[in-house]
Amino acid sequence: MSNVEKVKEFLDKAKTFYFLTTDGTQPKGRPFGFHMLVDDKLYFGCGTFKNVYKQLVANPKVEVLALAGDEFLRYDGQAKVVKDDALLAKVREIMPQIMDIYDKNGWEMGLFYLENGHAEIRGMLDLIEEFPV
Q: pTM for this structure?
A: 0.94
Tell me how far apart the alpha carbons of residues 81 and 59 are, in angstroms, rounded to a whole number: 12
Would residue 57 count as lying in a domain? yes
Tell me how far apart the alpha carbons of residues 69 and 119 are, in angstroms, rounded to a whole number: 17
Would residue 17 count as lying in a domain? yes
CATH number for the domain harbouring residue 9:
2.30.110.10
Per-residue pLDDT, 86: 97
Would residue 131 count as lying in a domain? no
Burial, 65: exposed, middle or buried (Cβ in 10 Å; 0-12, 13-18, 19+)?
middle
Would residue 56 count as lying in a domain? yes
Strand partners, 110: 46
Would residue 69 count as lying in a domain? yes
Would residue 55 count as lying in a domain? yes
User: Could you state, in chain order, the average pLDDT of each consecutive group of 10 residues for the chain (133 residues)?
Assistant: 98 98 96 96 98 98 98 99 97 94 97 98 96 98
**Structural domain of 107:** 3-125
Would residue 132 count as lying in a domain? no
3-state SS of the chain?
CCHHHHHHHHHHHHCCEEEEEEECCEEEEEEECCCEEECCEEEEEEECCCHHHHHHHHCCEEEEEEEECCEEEEEEEEEEEECCHHHHHHHHHHCHHHHHHHHHHCCCEEEEEEEEEEEEEEECCCEEEEEEC
Per-residue pLDDT, 73: 99
Number of domains in the chain: 1
Would residue 130 count as lying in a domain? no
Per-residue pLDDT, 9: 98
Tell me how far apart the alpha carbons of residues 85 and 12 are, in angstroms, rounded to a whole number: 24
